Structure 1
């Protein structure tokens, strides 16, 4: 605590009393809110607010897609068993029970992964709404990860839910990088004048 007090005493006088929005425009992130302090009021730019909504919608669509996959799980198992039985490939064929077990594990793993991914997106979208530049960077990485996952693993049969989720994520990402919101995400280590 003593370091915090001495740092604020050594702060330039021209920063005293500035709002979080004014601090952002000067390249400084808002001060953290300590227990017992009231949260400062800040004006979130409209593109950032819309972006947060789109990020959350992207996660919700991703989860909905995995729920739809859970609903049609048996049809998927039947199709794989049929394809395997009709296959003329040499070697032993897996039993229908093995196919069912493997498919069930895969579908549930994808569902849990989608829920975790959506929660991460919601968390970092919330932090980006507060003007945290690193949260915007993490969201960029998550959008790239989603695109790579979709293009690498589902290139043969693009799922409509995944496409919509990716489209929403790309639009949300573009909104966070608009020039009009650049001052809302100050650069780390930028010198304050």
Structure 2
């Protein structure tokens, strides 16, 4: 099982030690890289999430087969992603020749609903098919699964998002509005109705 190594850095300057001891609890919370409540860093509406686990010896080929089968049936997973409306993207990566499995994603909202929502969809059993090949994984329906993910999570040292404000659902809505407006622009005879000055900002955006 993947373990975390705690490294203590001892300052050679007593003044530094005194200053650290006076750090407020709120400051400590902000600098804590192992916050048990938030496994990943959050930028705007989006939180990154990365988990690494040790593959059970002898299960490497089984895990590869499961991943290949699920990738071949990506539409099922896509339907679940669209149903929950939380995940921006996700991926599984085999590390060290298949000895370790990494899962990375970014999602909207809080960690607990993120896990709960997927446990209630086809992603739940699919997750189990994959993670059951990893040491110590308790199952997506287990009361301890969130703690297991937190224990195996690695928070990004730096996280950058091109569009941090909008959620998945807001992006979908914006794309739907853009598509609908484009249909209006393409409609014969619509030019007269589009002469209203109030629509000028929209027309300028559409022209970009």
Q: TM-score, normalised by structure 2?
A: 0.26
Of Structure 1 and Structure 2, which has the larger fraction of its residues in helix?
A: 1
Of Structure 1 and Structure 2, which has the larger fraction of its residues in strand?
A: 2
Q: Which has the higher contact order (CA 8 A, sep 6+)?
A: 1
Q: TM-score, normalised by structure 1?
A: 0.27
